[in-house]
Structure 1
């Protein structure tokens, strides 16, 4: 066998270095390294069949996958430099290029989910070019059928990328979560910061209606009071009679400005605030104020995200402050007293709601070959889907293409699948 190969090399060296002889030398050199292994089956009813495996894979002169059956070979390439990916196939007989017009060829790509791409070919220059874009991912089972000089040829091989198969047990242990891709309504928001304040109509200062003396103060700062409760006893120095200051509302004593024996004059004696409602005073920059309007929904958070309340914008100041900040305001119920005056908060203003045909969760997006992808699930098999993305509201992102409606995709712990795919290799070699 070795002598036979040496004789082939000698014969090829004597031949003038034409393109055909270069191809011959290329084949023989690979054969000597033990990388060439043509899988041949005997002819049956004029039809030739060959199964190409990973162990017999070799490259052709154009860097593509080379498939051979007796003296006929095809080289499969995917060209994607500056144009959408297309399949180009070169044909050879006895290692010499064949004029592409002499070959009829069809390629079938079977993808996960039962999707099948059937590609027909026409001659172009020195190769056959497919009539369809080879969409990403380039992961499929390939079947090639060719006709040349009245004989039929057939090859089948796997070309998988970005794919991982995981058992039910590991899926459960990994806490992989999925959902189906569906239409969504994206909610676009602006985030503003602000502070809680006491509504002007919920702050009460109590004065003596007559000149006199303060006989007794019945409350202290911080005391809770109810409407009609006696807060202080006063003495009218003109009538020499005592009377009482009563609370005009339910609330809390926020200020005591007099003591027993003080004169009761025009100054306030007590202050009460009612915190059953509070104001949310928001600061908006010029780019924010253009998008604000009364009636917009607002979700208010404390800075620790312990509480959140949904309310509405009810006032936008007509003037900017000296710091070029506009003031906007919302009113918020405060039944448990969580929202205290002076507390700093942040608020998400719902600027726009926009329905989209398809959207995926933001945390489902991973990167594969520098492209955004999600992992589609087909039983126990997961495979990347290169997605074209639109706008995002922070929770969902619009999908403009790359995945079919209704596809089940991974929403939780998708990074584990990326690690699994990269562990198995993520080559994109055609």
Structure 2
């Protein structure tokens, strides 16, 4: 008995030491690598959340090096432990739309007529994230906007490489549009929405639906701090927020290459722009021009960095990044002007801020009706923190309120 107690005590002490070392590493990494501007509100809450993420990814990397578990598997598992509650006024049902897993949120109370429909694509770089992680976000939008909401559980990379993600989103959306009335939804009142990678998928789905004359026209799209281009990673927001949690610029490039199953050592060439052919620079230069970004967004510091000389071998390895099904900013004017009414959400402290500003400019130039909400103290991933207790951020509530208001008043 004494021996067993000693073993347990020793194991407990070892676990405590390992945990202490991991926490110390997370604190050190945060303080030495991240750069939170003095103008940002609530830095301590953000640092706390970021350190938890560092712990998760570090533990995953250790297990991967030991050959016990892939990093992404552990990270997904730990993220799934976050189980937000659904609003009790709703019911949900897990279904498959043409083979794509979805969760349909419907109101328990009957409606006098058909409701509006909303299809939501979650974020997570196409690598992590799930329907369950967005339970509270989706149920709040469904309840407050009086909509039937479909949350799409698209396949994730690297097990399912691009373009499986946006194609799953497209498939689920088309199925819902074709069967909307079965769920008490008006087929002419369907909105698509997504955050981060989900915002990218929403923009791609909307553009591809322009060509579908056999389907009702989308009523609207909601693009929440999405990524829409892969040419210039030195725009003002990429420079200003390069080390801003929760998404560093270097991590963005790393996971972008992971998403496409490419060599992550190419990130340096992507950062310099060596992957962009000369004809592409000429063709898309008018849309990628930093002059399209208002001067007020350059006040925190910006130095124009020309793209480095083109390297054909790099382009061949990452050509998928330039396809319109990823870089949706570069769709032709004929497609852009047919897009539905749009809500664009951007965050000041987000590397993707300027992607949203440039996409907004394209809509504006083509006469597309839009609304823009800019979260002055927002950062990447803030949407999921609207009901996180003491870790709740005011801007996350404001973003959701703006989404709900936009959808309600279409």
The verdict on a shared fold, with TM-score over 0.5 as the criterion, is no
TM range (shorter): under 0.3
* TM-score (normalised: structure 2): 0.22
Structure with the larger strand share = 1
* TM-score (normalised: structure 1): 0.21
Structure number with bigger Rg: 1
Structure with the larger helix share = 2
